[in-house]
Structure formats: C-alpha cells, structure tokens
Amino acid sequence: MKSMSQRGRIYNQATMPTCRECNDEVAKLVSVKVGGKVQKLCPDCADRAREAGEVAEASEGVIQGMMGYKGRR
C-alpha cells in the first residue's frame, strides 16, 4: 500500500493542456470566442477560428447589403 506522500506525488504531476479542436497536447491554450462561446484552443486553431469568424462576418455583411437590410447589427 502506498503512503500518503506517494499518492500525493501522483496527483501533483503537471499535465499538458489539450486543445479542444485538434486534441493535441500543447504548452499553452488561448481563449477565443467562437460562435458566441469562449473556447480554449491551441494558437494554430485559435488563428483558424478567428479567420473563419472574420470571413463569416464579412459574408454576412455582403448578404445584408444585397438584401437592403438596414437594421442594427
């Protein structure tokens, strides 16, 4: 049977955080707002999510302009 100090060492070991998008272990996660929700992603996935969001906003603006939408957004 392990003593209390041996069990404590097992739980105190640092684990690498995992990106929710690519499931890779990374040194640091970045918080990014995607679709109205904040997600913690690796820097590469965070950049891709930001770019996808910018493209979606731009395309939404073009569609609203074509339709003559004059509401607030």
Structure tokens at 73: 């957004």
Domain membership of residue 51 as a residue range:
15-67
Domains: count for the chain: 1
State the pLDDT at residue 73. Answer: 55
Contact 36, 49 (CB under 8 A): no
In a domain, 9, yes or no: no
Please write the tens of the pLDDT for every residue from 31-43.
998 888 999 999 9
In a domain, 8, yes or no: no
Element (H, E) at 12: helix 4-12
Please state, as a whole number, how many other Cβ atoms lie within 10 Å of the Cβ of residue 58: 10
3-state helix, strand, coil in the chain (%, to 5): 45, 15, 35
In a domain, 4, yes or no: no
State the pLDDT at residue 68. Answer: 86
Contact 18, 24 (CB under 8 A): yes
